[in-house]
Structure 1
Amino acid sequence: MSGLFLLVVLIGWAVVAFLLARWATQLFKSPGVRVLVGVVAFPVLLLLPLVDEIIGMWQFDALCKKYAVQEIDEPHAKNRKVRYVRRGVDRYADGTLVRIRIDPIVYRDAETDQILVSYHTLEAKGGWLIRTLGISETGSPLLFNAGCAPPDQDGFKQNFNITVVN
Structure 2
Amino acid sequence: MIGLLFMAGIAVWLMVVIYLCRRIPRWLGLTRYAKVAGFVLFPILLFLPVADELIGLWQFSRLCEQESVIHLSDDWRKVERAKNVSSDRSERLRWYATRIHEREVKYQDADTKEIF
Between 60-69 and 97-106, report the one with greater CA deviation: 97-106
Larger-Rg structure: 2
Give, as a single letter, the amino acid of the residue that structure 1 aligns with 2:13: W
- Output the TM-score relative to the length of structure 1: 0.51
Partner of 1:80: 79
Is residue 82–residue 107 contact of structure 1 (8 Å, CA) maintained in 2? Answer: no
Structure that is richer in strand per residue: 1
- Output the TM-score relative to the length of structure 2: 0.67
Partner of 2:112: 112
How far the C-alpha of 1:50 sits from its partner, in A, is 4.4
The aligned runs of 1:41-60 (5 Å cut-off) are: 41-60=41-60
2 CA distance for matches of 1:104 and 1:3?
38
How far the C-alpha of 1:8 sits from its partner, in A, is 0.7
Is residue 93–residue 101 contact of structure 2 (8 Å, CA) maintained in 1? Answer: no
2 CA distance for matches of 1:2 and 1:94?
34
1 CA distance for matches of 2:10 and 2:85?
40
Is residue 83–residue 108 contact of structure 1 (8 Å, CA) maintained in 2? Answer: yes
Unaligned 5+ segments in structure 2 are none
**Which structure ranks higher in relative contact order (CA pairs < 8 Å, sequence separation ≥ 6)?**
1
Q: Do residues 29 (structure 1) and 32 (structure 2) align?
A: yes
Structure that is richer in helix per residue: 2
Q: Cα RMSD (Å) of the superposition?
A: 2.9
Aligned pairs, number: 112
Is residue 90–residue 101 contact of structure 2 (8 Å, CA) maintained in 1? Answer: yes
1 CA distance for matches of 2:75 and 2:64?
26
